[in-house]
Amino acid sequence: MDEIITLDYGSGGKKTSRLIESMIVPALSNPALDALGDGAILPGAEKLVFSTDSFVVSPLFFPGGDIGKLSVCGTVNDVAVCGGVPKYLSCAFLIEEGFATESLSRIIESIRSAAQKAGVTVVTGDTKVVERGRGDGLYINTAGIGFLKYPGLSPANIRSGDNVIVSGTVGDHGTAVMLARSGMMQGDIRSDCAALNGLCAAILDTGCAVRVLRDPTRGGVATTLCEFVEGTKVSIELDEDAIPVRRGVRAACEMLGLDALYCANEGKLLCVVAHEDCERVLAAMRETEEGRDAAVIGRVTDRYPGKVVMRTPLGGSRILQKLAGAQLPRIC
């Protein structure tokens, strides 16, 4: 560990993992936390799924969403990909003195609208105001509770021969936020920010052998897939041509020196499914608004244990690693 915390520790990549695994988990260790999922599965009257997240995105408003919509969708998605049915949210505001009430009103309306669309209720919260210059406008923390309906989802279930599906185009959110931050022209690039609980239910209600679901936010698709196979005896091999990336996003990433595979997504998920069930799951995904552009992007093999390998159109290959450093800080 470094002597001080830098922005790299919030990137969702290697340093984030190091911080969590070397400091937080050893100090607070318990079975729910040690699983290192997007949410904790808890015993209760019914088994509960619980998750929390904080949102520090800059700018607060961006094409396709704002910090309010993001805070609802991000937490709903963390509960849903654990196999839970999201029900209730808390919402806490940390507001800087001088923040415009008109902007706050817009954000609260986004929260209301996003929660209604996702079928969840904001049932508790908190508001704090800090001195001017100490809060960067607004931060939001949300926590979500849902009931576990689809148990057993875990990267530990992944087997050689499985297929890897992404629910749509990658890199939209990170690219949209970065362009909005820089003041560059957006074109038709918009954040994909969306609640995915309906898509998760459509996938899992098929009864197919779904191994794991995950929404690839910070660190993007590449980092999430690396986390799936890290330290295991299996590998994931991707086909570069099969990965859907919008033309505008690809062009913007080239201009900004970014890689869409490492850009955050806020309305996409990755699904690893048994090969024999792949077409059924793909068809179910494409019946939903959030999964209409779903595509099979790779397969699980045992040729490169613990690695994610990209097959290029020219017949070559390269190893993908977890994001190192902060490609896009303050992205969610």
Question: 210 lies in which domain range?
Answer: 155-320
- The answer as to whether 275 is a domain residue is yes
Q: Crossing angle of helices 197-204/67-80, nearest 10°?
A: 20
Q: Are residues 48 and 140 in the same domain?
A: yes
Q: Are residues 190 and 284 in the same domain?
A: yes
- The answer as to whether 58 is a domain residue is yes
Q: Are residues 100 and 200 in the same domain?
A: no
The CATH code of the domain that includes 124 is 3.30.1330.10
Which distant-in-sequence residues (6+ apart) come within 8 Å of 114 by Cβ?
A: 68, 69, 72, 73, 195
- The answer as to whether 248 is a domain residue is yes
Q: Are residues 219 and 300 in the same domain?
A: yes
Q: Are residues 204 and 142 in the same domain?
A: no
Q: Are residues 60 and 162 in the same domain?
A: no
Q: Are residues 202 and 140 in the same domain?
A: no
User: What are the average pLDDT values for consecutive 10-residue runs of the chain, which has 332 residues?
Assistant: 83 85 88 82 79 96 97 98 96 94 95 97 92 93 96 97 98 95 83 98 98 96 97 97 96 91 97 98 98 98 97 93 79 89
| Nearest partner of 23 among 37, 2, 7, 40, judged by Cα | 2
Total domains in the fold of the chain: 2
- The answer as to whether 197 is a domain residue is yes
> How high is the pLDDT of residue 326?
64
Write the DSSP assignment of 227-256 as a string of letters.
HHHTTSS-EEEEEGGGS---HHHHHHHHHH
- Amino acid identity, residue 177? V
Q: Tell me the pTM.
A: 0.90
The CATH code of the domain that includes 272 is 3.90.650.10
- The answer as to whether 278 is a domain residue is yes
Last residue of a domain, one of 123, 148, 173: 148
Q: Are residues 110 and 254 in the same domain?
A: no
Q: Are residues 176 and 291 in the same domain?
A: yes
Q: Are residues 135 and 161 in the same domain?
A: no
Q: Are residues 162 and 243 in the same domain?
A: yes
> How high is the pLDDT of residue 45?
62
> How high is the pLDDT of residue 142?
98
Last residue of a domain, one of 86, 113, 148: 148
- The answer as to whether 257 is a domain residue is yes
Last residue of a domain, one of 116, 148, 180: 148
> How high is the pLDDT of residue 185?
67
> How high is the pLDDT of residue 188?
86
Q: Are residues 261 and 300 in the same domain?
A: yes
| Nearest partner of 146 among 191, 198, 87, judged by Cα | 87
Three-class SS of residue 161?
coil
